[in-house]
A and B are shown apart, each in its own frame.
Chain A
């Protein structure tokens, strides 16, 4: 069964490219444009992987991540932070609040896909 991926980013142009490449890689993909929508979609779409931008309207990626991690039912969800913020302190914060990986923009599509696959393998 194909894994499901939710992309949460307020930048539509990046969402388009990611939807395309992840679709071609065989994932089922959905998108959310802000923090609140991301939380709703996690409940509705039930993704295996969440690609989460930090600087988003309504709720930041940090807030979304913390909200998700507070819910034990979602322990199996893989959260990959995806952001332009690249300072060590921010990486540390993302990982500390429960993100599984932290990928700094700009990233290579191949690397992203490989990372997602390896995280899913570790999970199963």
Chain B
């Protein structure tokens, strides 16, 4: 019953209550009267009836107006206010109740407004706090991510199930050497490292933790290419009581260390066992000479010759060993590979700043790499520069860097006389000081640590002298040629939200937003797979936890072993020449298959691409059986009225930019962005899980189109 009906009912009841007693009384009086009295009453009343009726009607209408007014002001006014308040609660927080109507209602409106203001102030405060905390968290994460990506160590963080939550560029490079399986967020680390080794390391770490030692463990594993990796595992503990929620792996390539160890072992072996035999010969011969002075001259000569010959042999052997292993004898010190020009430039800056001696570079070979302790070396150069300035009053210094055999020559050249040998030896053995800094190291220490040599020589030019520092050259290692990360801004190598995500397989009833996708596209020799057309390019990119991971991509040209149709070349611009030397499908497609293992495939007009892939399955030995979503169909599900569901048209509708069309990877990226924009729209239409999305796609009429 609405308010108006209730009001009308109230008016009727009121009317009845007011007139009822009067009518009852009148009826009773009428029934009690004698006929003569009744006639008299009729005569008295009837002529005056219009006046009475008129006054009654006036009274009734006046009452009606008053009641109606009260109704409007109190009942309807309050109803309006209630609606307003409801809007304030949900839709529009800034809406306020208009204070109108009678004073009581106005008071109520004001009180409600005050309450709303109080609420808004609180909410704003809370929002500001949340925003601030979020900002701080984001900053922390970015800092961590930036730190990770710059780290020289390879680091991978996994959750309890072995899913990768974070990895850095270095890890990508190191693990690529380990296996052809790709590393990626949300992927299983067990595809790369042996699960039993990791489980064992986790157990060992747990044992250590129980014994109140640092919880960590390490193991060594070999790559298919024969490299040795040392993997160190530290568990990540969370909760109360602490439980292992994941672990951090740091991976180090120890192949080189092992080789150096082996070289050292060889040296030690050569110098001990190798020498023992010779020493035994010499000793036996010499003892005979000493013990039996009575021996014949011929015998004596023979033993002397043996001793001499063996001593010479031993000398040669030592020489040869030193020659062969000169580099490795010193390399136990933690030296790093550095570009020579960087060290020289840093040394020049240091000499100018700390020693106050003008210094410039001349003839610096910028291709030279050296193995250095850069701090010690630069300190040593500054020390020599300061000594030269103090004792020989030199005005300026020039630095040169060149190569000589396996060594780099760093020359310090100055105008003036040579340093005398006595001075030189004194400098060599004193604790170094330069520009107010000091160190217990001597120049000799630094030189020996580097396995180098250092001396003073005259220059060819008159009045010039030079210190020459010879240092072993280095072969630059992986550090220098790490591929640059694609894209700018925040690195996408981590996703801590995966800590909470369990299990690997694809659950059809999981929400779309939580699944991992491989968005892909292919370019082909032509449009007829059943007529011999082949894939020539596949590009794919991953979506994990609702983020398009632009760095986790697959981009591969494929040799189709047939000619490309000219009309196709016009579309994608890939010609036969570009495909020479590229892998064939039997090699490339299994790699693509492992790239998208355990994910949902997403493509635009995916049926076309899938047809090509499925025709190859028998040949390549793997089947693409993962669920497939098609952005074309999903777009048709959402906007059945739209005429075009071409990639460009959808991109334009959703505000997604495509850089280059018809390159597999670029198209895949655009498709991925479109897919991410479609997800919330699908959710609004009740398509939330993968099962629902597949079903909706199936029902869309376009799904029936066969290629």
Residue numbers of A with Cβ under 8 A of B are: 11, 13-14, 16-18, 20-21, 24, 84-86, 104-110
Contacts and interface: CB of A to CB of B under 8 A. Distances in A.
Most buried by A among B274, B282, B287: B287
B281 A11 contact: yes
Contacts of A86: 272-273, 276
B280 A108 contact: no
Nearest to A104: B276
B287 A108 contact: yes
A37 B283 CA distance: 26
A57 to B, nearest CB: 14
Given A16-B302, A84-B276, A109 B284 contact: yes
A112 to B, nearest CB: 9
Most buried by B among A17, A24, A105: A17
Contacts of B309: 13
B652 interface: no
- Interface residues of B toward A: which range? 20 to 34
A36 to B, nearest CB: 21
A14 B284 CA distance: 7
B272 A106 contact: no
19 contacts: A11-B281, A13-B281, A13-B285, A13-B309, A13-B310, A14-B277, A14-B281, A16-B306, A17-B303, A20-B288, A21-B284, A21-B291, A84-B272, A85-B273, A86-B272, A105-B276, A106-B280, A107-B280, A108-B287
B299 A110 contact: no
Nearest 10 CB-CB pairs, A to B?
A105-B280, A17-B284, A84-B276, A106-B279, A106-B280, A109-B287, A106-B283, A13-B281, A84-B273, A105-B276
Given A11-B277, A84-B280, A86-B276, 10 more contacts: A14-B284, A17-B281, A17-B303, A18-B284, A21-B288, A106-B282, A106-B284, A107-B280, A109-B288, A109-B291
Interface in B261-298: 272-274, 276-277, 279-285, 287-288, 291-292, 295
A17 B272 contact: no
Nearest to B305: A13
B414 to A, nearest CB: 52
A118 to B, nearest CB: 19
Contacts of A24: 292
B291 to A, nearest CB: 7
A110 B309 CA distance: 23
A11 to B, nearest CB: 6
Contacts of B285: 13, 16-17
A105 B288 CA distance: 16
A90 B309 CA distance: 29
Contacts of A109: 283-284, 287-288, 291
Contacts of B279: 105-106
A21 B287 CA distance: 9
Contacts of B310: 13
Most buried by A among B279, B283, B302: B283
Nearest to B285: A17
Most buried by A among B272, B280, B295: B280
Contacts of B291: 21, 109-110
Nearest to B292: A24
Most buried by A among B274, B276, B306: B276
A50 B175 CA distance: 56
A49 B542 CA distance: 77
Contact of B287 (A11, A105, A110): A110
A84 B295 CA distance: 28
A14 B306 CA distance: 9
B306 A17 contact: yes
A25 to B, nearest CB: 10
A20 B290 CA distance: 13
Contacts of A20: 288, 292, 295, 299, 303
Most buried by A among B272, B284, B299, B303: B284
Nearest to B295: A20
Nearest to A109: B287
Interface string B293-329: 0010001001100100110000000000000000000
A22 to B, nearest CB: 11
Contacts of B287: 17, 21, 108-110
B47 to A, nearest CB: 147
A102 to B, nearest CB: 13
A84 B279 CA distance: 9
Contacts of B277: 11, 14, 84, 105
A84 to B, nearest CB: 4
Contacts of B281: 11, 13-14, 17
Nearest to B313: A13
B288 A17 contact: yes
Interface string B563-584: 0000000000000000000000
A107 B283 contact: yes
Contacts of B284: 14, 17-18, 21, 106-107, 109
A109 to B, nearest CB: 4
A20 B309 CA distance: 18
B303 to A, nearest CB: 7
Contacts of A17: 281, 284-285, 287-288, 303, 306
B541 to A, nearest CB: 57
Contacts of B306: 13, 16-17
Nearest to B284: A17
A51 to B, nearest CB: 12
A14 to B, nearest CB: 5
A101 to B, nearest CB: 16
Nearest to B294: A24
Interface in B234-280: 272-274, 276-277, 279-280
B672 to A, nearest CB: 61
A86 B271 CA distance: 13
A11 B292 CA distance: 22
Nearest to A84: B276
Interface string B473-487: 000000000000000
Nearest to B291: A109
Contacts of A84: 272-274, 276-277, 280
